[in-house]
Structure 1
Amino acid sequence: MSERILDVKNLKIDFHTYAGEVKAIRDVSFHLDEGETLAIVGESGSGKSVTTRSIIGLLANNANIAGGEINFHGKNLLDLSEREWQKIRGNEIAMIFQDPMTSLDPTMKIGQQIAEPLIKHKGVSKKEAWAKALDMMKAVGIPNAEERINEYPHQFSGGMRQRIVIAIALICEPEILLADEPTTALDVTVQAEILDLMKSLQKRVKTSIIFITHDLGVVAGMADRVAVMYAGELMEFGTVDEIFYDPQHPYTWGLINSMPTLDSKTLESIPGTPPDLLDPPKGDPFAPRNKYAMKIDIERKPPLFKITDTHYAATWLLAPGAPKVEPPLEIQRRWKKYQEMQKN
């Protein structure tokens, strides 16, 4: 059985703004096991990036941790000082950001930027760090690495810059890699290459990954488990097969229905907009956009109902005595396809 290396419990994060307190993350809990990839998915503004940044101690100055724990090997990261964070950040927990140009220093050579974490965290000599940086450049697929190690970020394409950012994140062989929409700015072909690269390097470095995305198509070939977030809350989580083929929350149905496939004739969008988190709803935050919503959805927040040992969803449709609701046809088609795959 894999060791649990990260355990997020009842996390609450507020943001102080001129308009008032934004309740950005509201009682979120999940865990990460050794060697696995957990994908956190949801629309923009659902709280994915805020949650991830809290794990590496990079929240904005107006953020306030209102409650909860983030336990890394049993130690609550929320209790760390900035000095203690600096020993962990980039060493035991590293992050890949969405836009590589904002992550790279335009005035520093690429080799220096890849080698720097080794010098800072591992205390290796500059010569040894540069040699390992060169090896890592080759590992992430940068051609002519011997020559290009002395070049600057602007001399690389977007896809190559993202490979460099991955090299920087993995050079210290961190236990956890946080990837925040790392392929959004790339074309489809380069995106597939970067995802394949991350999977191969994960096996080499033996790191665990939390992968943040709004693109469910990316998740299918990348994740072991999936957590679905909406309006700062966890709506559903389970194995990748459970979320893709047997989702139980109407919000997850909507996300999957809006995902293009080879069989798609039309794409369905989710009507409406997310709630205002200056004044969060007391019930299910998805209720105003949910055509299956009942009176109780407006009045009371649903708990996470257990479907299997690995699959949970926060919807009153799973409560005893709730009316039987058939999922959309696309979800039914996926479930039927999955059952046929299991037989074969």
Structure 2
Amino acid sequence: MEKLLQVNNLSVSFDTYGGEVQAVRGVNFDVHKGETLAIVGESGSGKSVTTKALMRLIPQPPGRIKEGEILFEGKDLAKLSEKQMEKIRGKDISMIFQDPMTSLNPTMKIGNQIMEGLIKHQKMSRSQAKKRAVELMELVGLPDAANRVDQYPHQFSGGQRQRVVVAIALACNPKLLIADEPTTALDVTIQAQILELMKDIQKKTDSSIIFITHDLGVVANVADRVAVMYAGKIVEIGTVDEIFYNPKHPYTWGLLGSMPSLDSADEDLYAIPGTPPDLIAPPKGDAFAARNDYAMKIDFEQQPPMFKVSDTHYAATWLLHEHAPDVEPPASIQRRMQGFAQEAELNTKGDRS
């Protein structure tokens, strides 16, 4: 598959009164044309900062891209001027933010907000842009679009506002769509509708998607590959099946073990002990060592490299070293992982049928 995006050794820092916060530390990943990559992890793991850096939306100061390459169709976005980035944002790369109410301008009609990108990037006239705005509203499932195009955000429900945000993001047929927890503020029914909408639109447009979430429950149904982030680093990356059925990093075990499943309804949910490290002074070794029940001496002294599990599966844990002891997650976590994986497989089969 052809690579649309390559991120090489990306590091993003924020200068604060307390010191330099190393929010993203040497991140590497790529996105192929037409695929969906999910980036998962706890709050504060660096997911949103990573994707905002891709669009050069990190406020400077206090933030800055410290080093690294962001190659989009071979062009390094990290080296482009703000004027050059303005031609790419909304046209080639679009973003769906978490809260639609803060993403939309409450003083502007919905139609005008969708039309902005069409007029700027597609050079449409106002009448052409308005006609296209109505079509986009219909595409994302908003009823009576011809009349509602002249309404304001407060006249739409939360789910409808998020559909408007999706319409804005799709207006110029972007090659890459970044969805930053787009369903967190929505109830479960609307969440499912928005996810189904994104999958359907991807099939029609063959766009690539980076899906940011802390909820592994949505990952199995939307992603082709999964990158697990912790303390500003990617600690494991692989296909959905590899991450759900054969995870190798103890942090991934903890994330999967903390998810409820139908088979484990009577069991207590697993909780990862401790808290994430202070990224003003990151640990010398593996950032997860202090919370890892299986940590060895080397975990506190050296950061693990990315060990190859398969051609598509890599994990940064010393447990994969040839001299490491043979360790598996506790039986309770394995049961929950198996139950959750089975549910995900059933959901996937249901979608295919």
Question: Please, what TM-score do these two structures have when normalized by structure 1?
Answer: 0.96
Q: Deviations over 1:301-344 (max 9, x none)?
A: 000000000000000000011001122325544469979x8xxx
Stretch of structure 1 that moved more, 201-210 or 36-45: 201-210
Write out aligned runs for 1:206-217 (5 A): 206-217=206-217
Partner of 2:158: 158
Q: Deviations over 1:207-265 (max 9, x none)?
A: 10000000000111010000000000111000001001110000000000001111122
Partner of 2:301: 299
Q: Secondary structure at the match of 1:177?
A: strand
Q: Alignment partner for residue 277 of structure 1, among 276, 279, 301? A: 279
Give the share of equivalent positions with the same residue, in percent.
64
The aligned amino acid for 2:318 is W
Please say if residues 3 and 32 of structure 2, whose CA atoms lie closer than 8 Å, have aligned partners that are also in contact: yes
Partner of 1:224: 224
> Which whole-Å CA distance do the structure 1 matches of 2:285 and 2:142 have between them?
50
Write out aligned runs for 1:244-263 (5 A): 244-263=244-263
Measured after TM superposition, the shift of residue 144 of structure 1 is 1.0
Q: Secondary structure at the match of 2:263?
A: coil
Write out aligned runs for 1:41-52 (5 A): 41-52=40-51
> Which whole-Å CA distance do the structure 2 matches of 1:184 and 1:335 have between them?
25
The aligned amino acid for 1:66 is K
Please say if residues 226 and 237 of structure 1, whose CA atoms lie closer than 8 Å, have aligned partners that are also in contact: yes
> Which whole-Å CA distance do the structure 2 matches of 1:86 and 1:42 have between them?
30
Q: Deviations over 1:106-135 (max 9, x none)?
A: 111111111110100010111111111101
Q: Deviations over 1:269-315 (max 9, x none)?
A: 11100000000011110000000000000000000000000000000
User: Gaps (5+ residues) in structure 1?
Assistant: none
RMSD of aligned alpha carbons: 1.4
Partner of 1:97: 97
Partner of 1:9: 8
Q: Deviations over 1:147-194 (max 9, x none)?
A: 111100000000000000000000100000000010000011110010
Write out aligned runs for 1:52-91 (5 A): 52-61=51-60, 62-91=62-91
> Which whole-Å CA distance do the structure 1 matches of 2:220 and 2:152 have between them?
34
Q: How many residues align?
A: 339
Please say if residues 94 and 177 of structure 1, whose CA atoms lie closer than 8 Å, have aligned partners that are also in contact: yes
Q: Secondary structure at the match of 2:248?
A: coil
> Which whole-Å CA distance do the structure 2 matches of 1:102 and 1:337 have between them?
33
User: Gaps (5+ residues) in structure 2?
Assistant: 346-353
Q: Secondary structure at the match of 2:222?
A: coil
Question: Please, what TM-score do these two structures have when normalized by structure 2?
Answer: 0.94
Partner of 2:23: 24
Measured after TM superposition, the shift of residue 54 of structure 1 is 0.5
Q: Secondary structure at the match of 2:34?
A: coil
Partner of 2:142: 142
Q: Secondary structure at the match of 2:259?
A: coil
